[in-house]
Chain A
Amino acid sequence: MTPALTRRGRVAGLVGLVAAASGIAAGGRALDAIVIPVAIALAAGYVQVSRVDVPAVRHVTPADGFVGETREVRLEFGPDVTGDAAPSRSFLADVFVRVDEGLDGPTAPIRASVGSEPVSYRVTYRERGERTLGPIELTATDVFGLFERELVVDETDAVTVYPPRDPIPARFRRALHAADAVDVSRQREEFDRLREYTRGDAVRDVHWATTAKRDEIVVKQFSAETARNRVTIAGGTEVGGGEELSGFGPEDRSPSAAAADELARATVSLALALLDDGVPVDVRLPAGRVSASPGDRGRREVLELAARTGPGAVAGDEADVTIVAGADGARFRTGDRSVSFDDLRREAEGERQADGDAGANRTDGSRDRRGVASP
């Protein structure tokens, strides 16, 4: 786009013209001191703005995160390869980043000096899924703001926003795997094999008999993560029947989308709770399936699947837990029992309060964050 006068620029131009006209019509007075500076400011402004090129922009994408989290995003301008040319290329601009509707981006343009240093802004994750940052609109201007020029940088980047996670009561978790399998004690029940000692192994696990026969120390390996304890979770949404709830919520979203959100939320809550317990999970959702073992990678696989998933029927039938979500909430079905996600959430809240202090709360929260933010 060509440089256009801003309102301020139009006023300045008008003042200059009036002054010049007045000078010609009714004598010079001190009008030179108005006409010349206005002309200089306008000329300089035009030159400054017209010399601007669309800069190369790099998004320093923030980490993926849960709904409700706020992250700082950085934009880096200008190619770093031509180092010496960069400083003169810098120009003033209002930077406005268009973001996906599932994100809360900056509401006002960021006044920045493009090219001289990076610009950062905050986004708040509102809805799960693959969310795009960009394109970037730049309104280049001169030092007096007399001219402006719109530039669009078609640079987009994506972040994955995970569904929110709720606590799942311990009672329910334990019911899904052997009650004794939870916590450390469980691991010592099942002897797996003997192996070489590595640093950090407990002295009590040393298998002295074998160690005595060999040159090296041999320890007992217990089977903590056995296939026997793997929990399969299958999820889906109730097809149809959601139309009567179209008034639900402030967003104008279809009931099936709301059901998918509920499904994702319930799945993530349960799967992460199990992974935190050290229990591997198989998750089947309309968007696909993952087999996740405890650890950051497993957690992320589950979160990404849940972030992506849309509405759909439950796939397959063999599952320890089947989650069926509607627009108003999700239900867990284990065998012949069925419990609503809302009830579980309430129960977990109660459990947490029973635990008492806010410290438990905080630990829980920090665990969540660490698990997601570190990969």
Chain B
Amino acid sequence: MNVIEVNNVSMKYRLATEKVDSIKQYLIKKAKRELHYEDFYALNEISFSVAKGEVFGIIGLNGAGKSTLLKIISGILKPTTGSIKVSGKIAPLIELGAGFNGDLSGIENIYLNGLILGYSKKMIKSKIEEIVEFSELGKFIHTPIKNYSSGMKARLGFSIATIVQPEILIVDEVLSVGDIKFKEKSEKKILSMMEQGATILFVSHSLGQIEKLCERVVWLEGGRVRKIGHTKEIIEEYKKITLNN
């Protein structure tokens, strides 16, 4: 059974040759017919599917469209054409702690961030101790978050995002959260989620990590699928071609 199906997805951006953000400018340019746009395809006719329980990697150079693809799958962006079918609850570990408010305390932010991730209030209440414990913030949990270090924020974000066993986990280079100790702990957590049957989409520039974790990989290049298949073959070819250039 496929939990993620991506069908012919294209993402077109209209790049204005100049930035127009005031009504006056817009009207003048419009009247003079000086509004020019350039089409730019961040993704072009992407199709693939991911089966339940699979660990699926996405590789490609910077600007290949990896992040755009993740954003489309997690529903932040709508594709220009094509369709996406996702069945199951997604935990996007793309941007940890999105929506943290500096003036609120750690506890208050757990509620806010948890609700943003789509948890119910009751659920968060029952898990709050577990979150605090995993984040190792201890007594700082009642301090306004603006006084946290970036590592503390990331730890809290990670702890909130991984508190439920998701059906689909999107991981975008976040295994590098916090210090070595926490990094190990977070890797362990992700591995345990994998064992419990979560489908995982994994984006990383570390080919070692990809080889270790993923069964299949899609290789994006310039917004198109260059190749899709078993990790070993693709990584080999990817290494050969990107390193030669």
Are A and B bound to each other? no
B residues at A contact (CB < 8 Å): none
